[in-house]
Structure 1
Amino acid sequence: MNALLLECDRRTSEVWQRLALVTDPELDESVTELGFVEHVTVDDDGDVDIVFRLPTFWCSANFAFLMADDMRRAVSSLPWVRKARPQLRDHMVAEQINRGVREGMSFADALKEFAPGGSLDELRDKFRRKAFERRQEVMILALRGIGYEDPAICRMSLCSFDEVEFASPDVARQKPRYRELLIETGLACLPEDRTFVTYEGAPIKRHELASYLQRLRGVRINMEFNSSLCRGLLAVRRRGLDDDNPGPTPSPCGGCSSRCAAPSGSP
């Protein structure tokens, strides 16, 4: 019995580790750090149930679908998992999202009324860009903070970047996350490739860096505001649930800038 319990604990821990790699697509923060994931259950057959809840009843249907699908993919990558079943709770289209992800449907097929017009791949790329730019700003400012001049930053190779050590735990955590996106997007692969380029792959020139950073600052401020708003709304929602009042929060999220509750074609 003890051996079985230990194995269950190990597997549950592995699931949480994979879920920690899943991010809210707009905020570029882990769904576990944001507090979205509430419960994980692992059975003896390798089936995993993941219960999660978003800040409001009206949070964007496309974002919710993306997170559910990313959770399924992340947990399904564990070799012992037979089936991963994310279960969104207390959301306007939870039933459609849960069924769609469970059956491997596309977002357009699962939620035809809420289809945003473009594909989810386009949405993923939009928020991958935001994540890239937010992480990039962190690294550029951190390099400035430890004495690097702008020309050196603009010329810095991936090899040189790998050799830099940061004392700040947060910056040290962001360094591999930024590098990961560089590799994933193909913007830098070889040791001599430039570390700091635009999302389109163009070099950042020294005289352009100040204005470029101003734009990145705007991206960061928007994401930080939305993150703070989402955390606050989720905290309020949980207090309501703790008080045995599981109804939806009284107003739409408003933080995701994506017309959260609006079906396709709404004015």
Structure 2
Amino acid sequence: MTALPMEVDADRLAQVRGRLDTVMDPELDESVTDLDFITDIVLGAAGSVRIAFRLPTYWCAANFAFLMADDMRLAVSSLPWVGEVQVHLHEHMYADAINAGVAQGSGFQASFGEAAEGGLEGLRRTFALKAFQRRQAALVRHLLDQGGTLEVLALLDIAALAALAVDAPTRVLLERHLARRDVPGGGSAAFVDTDGQALDAQGLQAQLRHARRVDINAEFNGALCRGLLAARYGEAKDAAPQPLHFIPRRSLAAAH
């Protein structure tokens, strides 16, 4: 077998990392790479790719773990030169079932049988909608800080929003919102509710209030996730805040 030139390997490795950057923790709406879940990427013969990943605890929720593993497989498989993708979760109580299910493409319910509480599609959509709401609210708050008004924002359609002349930080938020804008569906309005209905100024204000509560939970769970990962693997990360009187929406046992 002829080895690929090192620059080809480096380029392909960068492509794989780029695809993994698009795979999100479904609840936190943060990339699995940013969360430091990916531990190894190995390029093999005939376009094979092996990805190893970890989670903060041994008992992280199986459906979340399966969803992320399958999303990694799908994302990397979309590269034209990739022939086979193996995704390997390690040090998890359901690692064998998850790894086998993703490899066989058998799905979550088939992999876990009666222990599976429904399929993943409903879960995937629920958290895609939450991510959409958070991204939309983040953009709206930023545009308001930049001098915009709810009344003007409510009049924008997708094309007008995309064409706005904005600075680099605003463009990042704008593109993140547009990347999820198709999740609720609906018409051409730039800002909509979870049913795809255009939001007026009052509706935007109400969604900002709701999103702030969602943000608090997500930020707490994100800090908890990083703290648990650092504690488990002995890495020097910022410690997670102590819960004190605040109870996260998911229990510690279900956190990942």
**TM-score, length of structure 2 as denominator length:** 0.88
2:56 match: secondary structure? coil
Per the alignment, residue 97 of structure 1 pairs with 98
Specify whether residues 57 and 255 from structure 1 end up closer, same or farther in structure 2 by C-alpha distance, changes over 3 A only.
farther
Specify whether residues 7 and 168 from structure 1 end up closer, same or farther in structure 2 by C-alpha distance, changes over 3 A only.
closer
* One-letter amino acid matched to 2:110: D
Counterparts of 2:76 and 2:101, CA distance in 1: 17
Q: Is 1:135–1:174's contact at 8 Å kept on the other side of the alignment?
A: yes
Per the alignment, residue 178 of structure 2 pairs with 179
Counterparts of 1:211 and 1:40, CA distance in 2: 44
Asked whether 1:257 is paired with 2:256, we answer no
Asked whether 1:153 is paired with 2:153, we answer yes
Alignment map for 1:1-267 (pairs within 5 Å): 4-116=5-117, 118-167=118-167, 169=169, 171-188=170-187, 193-239=188-234, 257=250
Q: Deviations over 1:80-103 (max 9, x none)?
A: 111101100101100000000000
RMSD: 2.3
User: Higher relative contact order by CA 8 Å / sep ≥ 6: 1 or 2?
Assistant: 1
* One-letter amino acid matched to 1:23: M
Please identify, of 36-45 and 206-215, the stretch whose mean Cα deviation from structure 2 is larger.
206-215
Counterparts of 1:217 and 1:72, CA distance in 2: 33
Counterparts of 1:256 and 1:37, CA distance in 2: 25
* One-letter amino acid matched to 2:137: E
Counterparts of 1:2 and 1:132, CA distance in 2: 43
Specify whether residues 222 and 229 from structure 1 end up closer, same or farther in structure 2 by C-alpha distance, changes over 3 A only.
same
Q: Is 1:27–1:226's contact at 8 Å kept on the other side of the alignment?
A: yes
Please identify, of 90-99 and 140-149, the stretch whose mean Cα deviation from structure 2 is larger.
140-149
Deviation at 1:164, TM superposition (A): 2.2
Counterparts of 1:230 and 1:78, CA distance in 2: 30
Gaps of 5+ in 2: 236-246
Counterparts of 1:255 and 1:64, CA distance in 2: 19
Q: Is 2:132–2:183's contact at 8 Å kept on the other side of the alignment?
A: no
Counterparts of 2:166 and 2:215, CA distance in 1: 20
Please identify, of 197-206 and 66-75, the stretch whose mean Cα deviation from structure 2 is larger.
197-206
Counterparts of 1:23 and 1:211, CA distance in 2: 26
Q: Is 1:26–1:256's contact at 8 Å kept on the other side of the alignment?
A: no
Deviation at 1:176, TM superposition (A): 1.3
Question: How many residues in Structure 1 have an aligned counterpart in Structure 2?
Answer: 244
Gaps of 5+ in 1: 241-253, 262-267
**TM-score, length of structure 1 as denominator length:** 0.84
Deviation at 1:210, TM superposition (A): 2.5
Q: Is 1:25–1:67's contact at 8 Å kept on the other side of the alignment?
A: yes
Counterparts of 1:127 and 1:150, CA distance in 2: 26
Please identify, of 125-134 and 219-228, the stretch whose mean Cα deviation from structure 2 is larger.
219-228
Specify whether residues 3 and 112 from structure 1 end up closer, same or farther in structure 2 by C-alpha distance, changes over 3 A only.
closer
Deviation at 1:259, TM superposition (A): 8.2
* One-letter amino acid matched to 1:237: R
- Report percent identity of matched pairs: 40
